[in-house]
A and B are shown apart, each in its own frame.
Chain A
Amino acid sequence: MTRPYYWSVRRELWENRFVYLAPLIVCAVVLFAALVSNTFSLPDRVTRAAADTDLARRHSMVVSHLSLPPAPIMLSTFIVAMFYCLDALYGERRDRSILFWKSLPVSDRTVVLSKLSVPMLVLPAFALILGITVQIILFVHGTLVLTLRGVGPGLLWREFRFMQEPIVMLYGTVVHVLWYAPIYGWLLLVSAWAKRVPLVWAVMPLMVISAFEKGVFGSMNFMNMLQYRVGGAMKEAFVFQTGAIDEFSQLSIGRYVSRPGLWGGLLFAFLCVVLAIHLRRKREPI
Chain B
Amino acid sequence: MACIEARGLRKAFGKTVAVDGIDLRVEEGRILGIVGPNGAGKSTALSAILGLTPYEGSLRVLGRDPWSERGQLMNDVAFIADVAVLPRWMRASQAIEYLAGVHPRFDRDKAEAFLAKTSVKRHSRVRELSKGMVTQLHLALIMAIDAKLLVLDEPTLGLDILVRKQFYDSLLNDYFDRSRTIVVTTHQIDEIQDVLTDFVFIDQGRIVLESSMEQFETRYVEAMVRPENVEAARAFRPIHERQIFGRSILLYDGADRQQIAALGEVRTPSIADLFVAVMSRTQGAAR
Q: Are B102 and A107 in contact (CB under 8 A)?
A: no
A side interface size, CB within 8 A: 27
Chain B residues contacting A281 (CB-CB under 8 Å) are 70
In the complex, whether B94 has a CB less than 8 A from a CB of chain A is: yes
Contact of B71 among A11, A110, A282 (CB under 8 A): A110
**How does the 8 Å CB contact mask read for A96-133 relative to B, with 1 for contact and 0 for none?**
11111011111110100000000000000000000000
Contact of A104 among B53, B80, B88, B103 (CB under 8 A): B103
Distance between A277 CB and nearest chain B CB, rounded to angstroms: 12
Distance between A258 CB and nearest chain B CB, rounded to angstroms: 39
Q: Are B102 and A106 in contact (CB under 8 A)?
A: yes
Grouping DSSP codes into helix (H, G, I), strand (E, B) and loop, the A interface class, with mixed when no group exceeds half, is helix
**How does the 8 Å CB contact mask read for A13-51 relative to B, with 1 for contact and 0 for none?**
011000000000000000000000000000000000000
Distance between A263 CB and nearest chain B CB, rounded to angstroms: 31
In the complex, whether A3 has a CB less than 8 A from a CB of chain B is: yes
In the complex, whether A159 has a CB less than 8 A from a CB of chain B is: no
In the complex, whether A95 has a CB less than 8 A from a CB of chain B is: yes
Distance between B141 CB and nearest chain A CB, rounded to angstroms: 9
Q: Are B98 and A11 in contact (CB under 8 A)?
A: yes
**How far apart are the CA atoms of A104 and B101 in the complex, in Å?**
11
Q: Are B71 and A95 in contact (CB under 8 A)?
A: no
Nearest residue, chain A, Cβ from B75:
A105
In the complex, whether B99 has a CB less than 8 A from a CB of chain A is: yes
In the complex, whether B119 has a CB less than 8 A from a CB of chain A is: no
In the complex, whether A261 has a CB less than 8 A from a CB of chain B is: no
Interface size classification for chain B: 20 to 34
Q: Are A15 and B74 in contact (CB under 8 A)?
A: no
Chain A residues contacting B80 (CB-CB under 8 Å) are 103
Nearest residue, chain B, Cβ from A91:
B87
In the complex, whether B115 has a CB less than 8 A from a CB of chain A is: no
Chain A residues contacting B172 (CB-CB under 8 Å) are none
Distance between A115 CB and nearest chain B CB, rounded to angstroms: 14
Contact of A3 among B47, B51, B102 (CB under 8 A): B102
**How far apart are the CA atoms of A3 and B77 in the complex, in Å?**
19
Q: Are B71 and A108 in contact (CB under 8 A)?
A: yes
In the complex, whether B262 has a CB less than 8 A from a CB of chain A is: no
Chain B residues contacting A284 (CB-CB under 8 Å) are 47, 52-53
Q: Which residue, of B89, B102, B103, has the highest number of chain A Cβ atoms within 10 A?
A: B102
Contact of A282 among B54, B73, B99, B103 (CB under 8 A): B54
In the complex, whether A4 has a CB less than 8 A from a CB of chain B is: yes
Contact of B90 among A14, A106, A282 (CB under 8 A): A14
Q: Are A104 and B74 in contact (CB under 8 A)?
A: yes
In the complex, whether A10 has a CB less than 8 A from a CB of chain B is: yes
Chain A residues contacting B54 (CB-CB under 8 Å) are 282
Chain B residues contacting A110 (CB-CB under 8 Å) are 71
In the complex, whether B84 has a CB less than 8 A from a CB of chain A is: yes
In the complex, whether A6 has a CB less than 8 A from a CB of chain B is: yes
Tell whether A105 pairs with B84 under 8 Å between CB atoms, given A11-B94, A15-B89, A284-B52. Answer: no
Contact of A10 among B73, B84, B101 (CB under 8 A): B101
In the complex, whether B79 has a CB less than 8 A from a CB of chain A is: yes
Nearest residue, chain A, Cβ from B84:
A96
Tell whether A102 pairs with B94 under 8 Å between CB atoms, given A7-B102, A110-B71. Answer: no
**How far apart are the CA atoms of A95 and B88 in the complex, in Å?**
8
**How far apart are the CA atoms of A15 and B47 in the complex, in Å?**
26
Chain A residues contacting B37 (CB-CB under 8 Å) are none
**How does the 8 Å CB contact mask read for B170-214 relative to A, with 1 for contact and 0 for none?**
000000000000000000000000000000000000000000000
Q: Are B86 and A97 in contact (CB under 8 A)?
A: yes
Q: Are A4 and B70 in contact (CB under 8 A)?
A: no
